[in-house]
Amino acid sequence: MNDLTQLTISQARAKLCAKEITATEITEAYLSAIERANPALNAYVAVTDDKAREMAKASDAKLAKGEGGSLEGIPLGIKDLFGTEGIHTQACSHVLDGFKPRFESTVTTNLWADGAVMLGKLNMDEFAMGSSNETSYYGPVVNPWRRSRLDTVVMPTTHQGDGGFVSAGGTRTAQTLDNAQLVPGGSSGGSASAVSAFLCAGATATDTGGSIRQPAAFTGTVGIKPTYGRCSRWGIVAFASSLDQAGPIARDVRDAAILLKSMASVDPKDTTSVDWPVPDYEAAIGKPIKGMKVGIPREYRVDGMPEEIEALWQKGIAWLKDAGAEIVDISLPHTKYALPAYYIVAPAEASSNLARYDGVRYGLRVPGKDIVDMYENTRAAGFGREVKRRIMIGTYVLSAGYYDAYYLQAQKVRNLIKRDFENVFAAGIDVILTPATPSAAFGIADEDMAADPVKMYLNDIFTVTVNMAGLPGIAVPAGLDAKGLPLGLQLIGRPFDEETLFQTAHVIEQAAGSFQPEKWW
């Protein structure tokens, strides 16, 4: 293969181990792809070429001795939310200007220990707050996917002699790419765009309400948010600590399994990380799903959902049925309350977590006439609009007199949402199938969404329930819409049963095929 960036992680791993290619060659291939594409896509906010070359060289030395780790020589992109020692880590916020941590997050430490190579830091919504990657201080990320436009072409009338081909003229339709720039989703928009556009073999991402699964669905990639506690949160910039989880975005289900195996671990530095062995997720891929009970929650059929999403869901149901699964209609009655409860819990936790950005310990400082004035000026200049909005909501719902009405009520509703899932799993459901998003990717600077923050929040309507209940969820590409944009399905599993998600997602992937954007950048 000429272009090494086209290899999946599992293919690259095999070629590296067989010494058909070197880590340096594949790293160089990605670095030149980034150099060419990044001005158009804005997926990377920092490219660490020297570090990448140095890590690739070390990997080549190990591979030569046959001592490579499970990700030896595999070039990855890292979301800017992960603390990386001595390297740009700003959660794509102005308030963290110039921050280069003196520590390395546990997840990235695990990846480097397994031999992965860091290409750079990936763009994201500021502090992971957004569903379009438009809130980044570094500007929006562009989705490598574009809508196709059907143009009518007039055909000339031709005659080609006796019995030959005769065209009667008339018209035919030709597909061309529309120039409108689309969002890659968010908050892990840089991760999704980079994976989809072959600017890294795989990427780290994080998911608080859908930030791995929604961008994966918008870019035709695979994204898994593991169970809360599966990956250590240590060293990752905190947004909403009871909801945040790290996970991978990858080109296919197998690559996602390989990456999660490396990322997951128990960690004494995160007391919410779980002390259970990390299974070999790859081994689950290819296992038959015959007899598996797949729940179809009726509450996920929402008003105004495009028919294409419903059709995609039905296709997914048919594929799993064909593979021998038993399809069961289920009810998760509190589904509609997940998003409003999230918009109390997440901002409340964020307002507390983001209190640390005060112009004293790191990042931006804007002077003031006294210390309080300095805090207020720093935070006013350092945070973008969406982040301020959420800090304000969080501060309000936690303030005296409102705590019970908002925060306590939301935490009670959260228990009901979790109970809904517990009930269906107790009734024997193994996995739940839903659409991943209520629409395909939308345009950058969409006017409706800019005018009403709630419209943007509705992007996470199918994914946010999973965070509220701490469950694992995977988004897997399942088809294209009429305009040629990717659409994804979501599978939700029992706590710590990521294996069933990989197993089932692989069945969907086999049936649906894989999807690549047409290169225009």
Partner 1 sequence: MSVDVKTVKRVARLARIAVSEEDAERMTGELNAILGFVDQLNEVDVSGVEPMTSVTPMEMKKRQDVVTDGNKAADIVANAPATEENFFLVPKVVE
What is the rounded distance in angstroms from the CA atom of residue 49 to the CA atom of residue 404? 51
- Written as one letter, the residue type at 141 is V
154 vs 451, which CB is nearer to partner 1?
Answer: 451
Question: Which listed residue (105, 196, 211, 265) is catalytic?
Answer: 211
Nearest alpha-carbon partner for 353 in 403, 323, 326, 391: 391
Torsional sign, CA 145, 472, 101, 350: positive
Torsional sign, CA 461, 465, 468, 473: negative
258 vs 348, which CB is nearer to partner 1?
Answer: 348
Q: Smallest gap, in angstroms, from Cβ of residue 126 to partner 1?
A: 14
β-sheet bridge partners, residue 79: 122
What single string gives the DSSP state of each residue in 101-138?
-SS--HHHHHHHHTT-EEEEEE--SGGG--SSS-S-TT
Output the CA angle 354-136-217, nearest 5 degrees: 105
Q: How many CB atoms lie within 10 A of CB 402?
A: 13
Q: Smallest gap, in angstroms, from Cβ of residue 340 to partner 1?
A: 4
Is residue 187 part of the annotated active site? The answer reads yes
Q: Smallest gap, in angstroms, from Cβ of residue 137 to partner 1?
A: 16
8 Å CB contact between 488 and 7: no
Question: Which listed residue (93, 187, 193, 262) is catalytic?
Answer: 187
201 vs 393, which CB is nearer to partner 1?
Answer: 393
The number of helix segments (H) and strand segments (E) in the chain equals 16, 15
Q: Smallest gap, in angstroms, from Cβ of residue 172 to partner 1?
A: 47
β-sheet bridge partners, residue 432: 295, 492
DSSP H helical segments within 149-197, as ranges? 189-196
306 vs 368, which CB is nearer to partner 1?
Answer: 368
147 vs 365, which CB is nearer to partner 1?
Answer: 365
Helix, coil or strand: residue 494: coil
β-sheet bridge partners, residue 222: 250
99 vs 521, which CB is nearer to partner 1?
Answer: 99
Q: Smallest gap, in angstroms, from Cβ of residue 429 to partner 1?
A: 19
Question: Which listed residue (10, 15, 79, 191) is catalytic?
Answer: 79
Torsional sign, CA 474, 477, 478, 481: positive
H-run or E-run covering 253: helix 253-263
Structure tokens at 5: 């960036």
CA distance to 290, 311, 353, 516, per residue, from 362 (Å): 54, 50, 15, 41
159 vs 356, which CB is nearer to partner 1?
Answer: 356
361 vs 519, which CB is nearer to partner 1?
Answer: 361
33 vs 339, which CB is nearer to partner 1?
Answer: 339
Q: Smallest gap, in angstroms, from Cβ of residue 392 to partner 1?
A: 5
157-159 and 222-225 strand pairing: unpaired
8 Å CB contact between 233 and 68: no
β-sheet bridge partners, residue 249: 203, 223
Q: Smallest gap, in angstroms, from Cβ of residue 364 to partner 1?
A: 7
403 vs 520, which CB is nearer to partner 1?
Answer: 403
Structure tokens at 175: 């597909």
Q: Smallest gap, in angstroms, from Cβ of residue 407 to partner 1?
A: 8
Ramachandran category for residue 220: left, alpha or beta (phi over 0 → left; psi -120 to 50 → alpha): left
CA distance to 27, 60, 199, per residue, from 3 (Å): 12, 19, 12
Is residue 105 part of the annotated active site? The answer reads no
Structure tokens at 66: 């046959």
Is residue 211 part of the annotated active site? The answer reads yes
Q: Which residue is listed with tokens 């989809």? A: 196
Q: CB within 8 A of 146, min separation 6: which ones?
A: 177, 178, 179, 180, 181, 182, 484, 517, 518, 520
Q: Smallest gap, in angstroms, from Cβ of residue 425 to partner 1?
A: 14
Q: Smallest gap, in angstroms, from Cβ of residue 461 to partner 1?
A: 12
8 Å CB contact between 220 and 145: yes
Residues annotated as part of the active site: 79, 187, 211
